[in-house]
Amino acid sequence: MPLLALVACGQAGIGKGQQGLQAMAAQRSLRWGSAVTAAMLRDPPRRQLLLDNVGSITPENALKWDATEPQPGRFQFADADALLAFSREHNLTLRGHTLVWHEQLPAWLPALPTPQLLQALERHIRTVVGHGRGRIQAWDVINEPLDPGGNGLRQSIWLQRLGPGYLAAALRWARQADPAAILTINDYGLEGDDPQTARKRRSLLTLIDELQRQGAPLDAIGLQAHLLAPAQGTPEFRSLPAFLAELRRRGLQLEITELDVSDRALPADPALRDSRVAATYDAFLKAVLTEPAVRRITSWGLSDRDTWLNKALPRADGLPQRPLPYDAALHAKPARSSIAARLQPAPVKR
């Protein structure tokens, strides 16, 4: 049954005889992943949707600092261990997200004097990475270190209190805790064609060059790809392939780590929103899949039921956003059709 017919008849999940996203991605030697929570695994329909579609998972919150170390030196991993067990049971890779970020910090951390803050950062990285050693394939070691406007490094607690040396130190501690893990810097706002994006890209390249000069163990760059479906037209991502190639030439692996498409700039009509969101997925994947260094694409959830956008970036009219391949009832949407079309194997050149 064609995908659009599935949507029309309201059938949840993938249709009979259809391939899941991971099966299609594998034809391009890619992995398709999704952000997950332990609650999703306790809900059979959402759990099955994951198993039908992904080869990789990323804990949405279970490995962030406020979740893993709510009190200084007292670590807890119950939800993270549930996701680790799920990944092992179903032969899924697992990405660790995230070790060093300026948000979702426990309340006790900012009050530490600077020497203790540095000690806490080292202890946290070594403990959390060590807990997942051999089981977590890749880590977002540093999340969103760049100034949002493209003016160098973000003025975070880490930069203000510890200076820029925290970046190389964090990478080194992570490498020592798990020498086999892929160590990543992950950031947003790197995908578009506007001047602010160009500045932020230059800031990232400057940071990479400095870390490589220092011999810091950086393996990969993650582009979050929280995209916006524009009110008019479709984004083209004209400059993105050249930027990805620049990163590859620096010897880095590339991942799309948090892909979704916000519809907050669009009118209320759900059919129109779905069409524009699907077109944005299509344009983005067209640009990304030309780059051989991209080996994994992770959407920030599979179903609109689980999107973070309704809390973080709600629509002005109060309607739920529709940013993901499946709707809140787990029915396939046009976005899934766009993704599936782009995941078809590239034609063989003769």
Query: Which residues are known to be catalytic?
Result: 144, 258
The C-alpha atoms of residue 58 and residue 93 are separated, in whole angstroms, by 9
Q: Which residue has the tokens 């952000």?
A: 35
CA pair distance 128, 59, nearest whole angstrom: 13
Q: Which amino acid is at 293?
A: A
What is the number of other CB atoms lying within 10 angstroms of the CB of residue 74?
8
H or E, element range at 16: none
> How many angstroms separate the most distant Cα atoms in the chain?
64
Helical axes 270-288 vs 240-249, angle rounded to 10°: 40
Alpha carbon of 48 to those of 13, 241, 242, 343: distances in Å?
A: 8, 34, 38, 21
Amino acid at position 340, single letter = A
- DSSP string for 163-177: -THHHHHHHHHHHHH
- Lookup: tokens for 11: 């059938």
Distance CA 137, CA 255 (A): 13
Q: What count of other Cβ atoms lies within 10 Å of the Cβ of residue 158?
A: 24
What backbone phi and psi angles, to 5 degrees, belong to 212?
A: -70, -35
| Cβ pair 4, 29 in contact under 8 A | no
Distance in angstroms between the alpha carbons of the first and the last residue of the chain = 33
Helix (H) or strand (E) holding 11: none
Give ∠ CA 315-316-317 in degrees, rounded to 5.
90
Q: What element of type H or E holds 221?
A: strand 220-223
